[in-house]
Chains A and B, each alone.
Chain A
Amino acid sequence: MAVNYIRKIISLYIPLTWEVTKLSILSAMEYRLSFIIQVMGMVVNDIGFVLLWLIFFKRFPSIQGWQFQDSIILLSIGTLSFSFAMITARGAIDLGKLIARGELDYYLSFPKNVLWHSVVSKTEISAIGDLFFGIIIYFFSANPSFSGLLYVLLISAMVGIILISFIILTESISFYVGSFEEAAEQMWHSLLGFSFYPQVAFHGVLKAITLTVLPAFFIAALPVRLIKDFQPGYFLLLLAFCAGITALAIAVFHNGLKKYESGNLINVKI
């Protein structure tokens, strides 16, 4: 059952996602100036993060062993994983709104999986800027190499899947409680907020939060540790969390879909 499901994902949904995303990017590129401004604007925006940590670590060179180079790795993984999630699955952020307003009907009428279709229906064009930035900034880390870049891309892809699953999970709560989109948005921003700072700073209750409700540990602290020092145990832990949260998100969505009430809206999409 699970093997068939995975085989279907690899043979059908990954190529389909590629085609849908490619079409979205090509159509955005029709508005050339807007496309360039968005992508370059995001690169400039991301450089702001580097400047901030540059100033911070000039004043405080090391915080419990965490240095500027660690923040560079964190920025690289953060922007790459964010770009993977937002380029392929930007629609996930709108799920709660679609559910609360009864607007999922449009996706229900298609032959492909409802969750997949609604999630890949949008692409965040500016995230292409994050993708470029994430790759470039990696080469400013302590020991950059092309094989190392491939490894960073692999880890970032796993973190990207965790991000998408987290969004689906929180947005799907709207199926059960009516309207949860604003709270889900706050949780998403909080998760990103946690993953931005030196991870050694968190302890006590805050550390517990980063391990559970807002799993920043798995999208920031653990990936940085893995990039700096590969350990099979840590890799398996990340892989297990990635698989677990993905399975949970899919289950919560499909279970919630049984409770879905149509908004009876008639829209014509041309």
Chain B
Amino acid sequence: MDSVNTIEILEYTKCKFLKYLEIAKINYLNNSAYLVNLISRSGIVIIRIWIFTQLYKVTYSVSGTNIIGDLTLPMVIWSLMLTQSFQIATKPMVSKLIEEEVKLGTLAYSLNKPYSYLLFNYFGFLGRTFVNNSSNLILGTVAALLLVGPINFSAKSIILGLFLLFFGYTIDFFISFTIGVSAFWIEDISAFMWIYSKGQMVLGGLILPLSLFPDSLRKIAEILPFSQLYYGAARTMVNFDWALFQKFFLTQLAWVVFFGIVSYYIFHKGIKKISINGG
């Protein structure tokens, strides 16, 4: 009897999971259908990497040293290429999509469907991000190879970096989702999106890797959520450090739990707040 129940539960869970996997797949196919758009969006990675290369070449030559904060110039450029690719892949932001749903009123159609609104958005986000990342990373890798040449990547650093990236994206989703559902209270949430993006830019290693920060500031930045989004993964990939990996992973877990609870709570509080006009 017990084994029958277990099988039923497993089947039920599998069905539920497959449903969300299909959502991720649909978003993946939808985004990969417009190849020209996809590539033109990724083009911005090339331009930024080009700018960074010239900026940091000058900076390193002025400093008169090959290594700053444990990173060589090629490592800095590869790290920036990765963080930029990972971040650009999240566009359009989940918060922007939710805000549009609220403004247009299409939220009414999403909320009465037989799925969790949070998980629907999460898997959709993962599907979109996957395809965007593929394009960004291919073009970004070509640009980085041409501009500064290759660096040593190990299989371990890539696998563990991808592991951190998955949790980084989960934190990003929870934060963006929380900002998005705040549109249930205030319709225009652009200001929160800008501030969040700026936090990523300044403290998330998108322009200046945290290894180049002054020590005291770096220690603070490394435990803030912004550095856990993409920088942890990029830093692990370009210059693996076991102690740093463990630190990133534990910090990420704490932020995943924290923002997971916050987003769930805000969403369920907000859902009671909204009124949908039928007709």
| B-binding residues in A (CB < 8 A) | 33-34, 37-38, 40-42, 44-45, 48-49, 51-52, 55-56, 58-60, 62-64, 126, 182-183, 186, 189-190, 193-194, 197-198, 200-204, 206
Contact = CB atoms under 8 A, between A and B. Distances in A.
A174 to B, nearest CB: 15
Given A37-B186, A63-B58, A63-B62, A193 B51 contact: yes
Nearest to A183: B40
Interface in B2-49: 37, 40-41, 43-44, 47-48
A42 B43 contact: no
A45 B59 contact: no
B194 A51 contact: no
A48 B203 CA distance: 10
Contact of A42 (B68, B194, B201): B194
Interface in B165-198: 186-188, 190-192, 194-195, 197-198
A197 B208 contact: no
A212 to B, nearest CB: 15
A45 B59 CA distance: 26
20 contacts: A33-B186, A38-B191, A41-B191, A41-B195, A45-B195, A45-B197, A48-B202, A51-B202, A52-B201, A52-B207, A55-B208, A56-B207, A63-B59, A64-B62, A193-B47, A193-B48, A193-B51, A197-B55, A202-B54, A206-B54
A45 B194 contact: yes
Given A56-B208, A193-B47, A38 B190 contact: yes
B44 to A, nearest CB: 6
Given A56-B208, A189-B44, A193-B51, A64 B188 contact: no
Residue among B187, B192, B202, B212 facing the most chain A CB atoms (10 A cut-off): B202
A206 B44 contact: no
B208 A52 contact: yes
A186 B202 contact: no
Contacts of B192: 41
Contacts of A206: 50-51, 54
Q: Specify the main secondary structure of chain B where it touches its partner.
A: helix
Given A42-B191, A182-B37, A201-B51, 12 more contacts: A37-B188, A38-B191, A41-B192, A44-B191, A45-B195, A48-B198, A48-B202, A49-B198, A190-B44, A193-B47, A193-B48, A202-B54
B59 to A, nearest CB: 5
Contacts of B58: 63-64, 200-201
Contacts of A203: 54
Contacts of B207: 52, 56
Interface residues on B, range: 35 or more
B200 to A, nearest CB: 10
A34 B202 contact: no
A52 B190 contact: no
Interface in B186-241: 186-188, 190-192, 194-195, 197-199, 201-202, 207-208, 212-214, 217
B54 A59 contact: no
B27 to A, nearest CB: 19
Contacts of B152: none
B277 interface: no
B63 interface: yes
Nearest to A34: B188
Nearest to A204: B54
Interface string B56-70: 001100110000100
A41 B194 contact: yes
B43 to A, nearest CB: 6
A188 to B, nearest CB: 11
Nearest to A51: B202
A99 B198 CA distance: 33
B40 A34 contact: no
A186 B51 contact: no
B38 to A, nearest CB: 11
B63 A60 contact: yes
Contacts of B190: 38, 41, 126
Given A37-B188, A60-B59, A190-B47, A55 B214 contact: yes
B202 A55 contact: yes
Contact of B191 (A60, A126, A189): A126
Contacts of A60: 59, 62-63
Contacts of B62: 60, 62-64
A51 B220 CA distance: 14
Contact of B186 (A34, A182, A197): A34
B198 A40 contact: no
B191 A197 contact: no
B77 to A, nearest CB: 13
Nearest to B47: A190
Contacts of A190: 44, 47
A171 to B, nearest CB: 15
Nearest to A205: B50
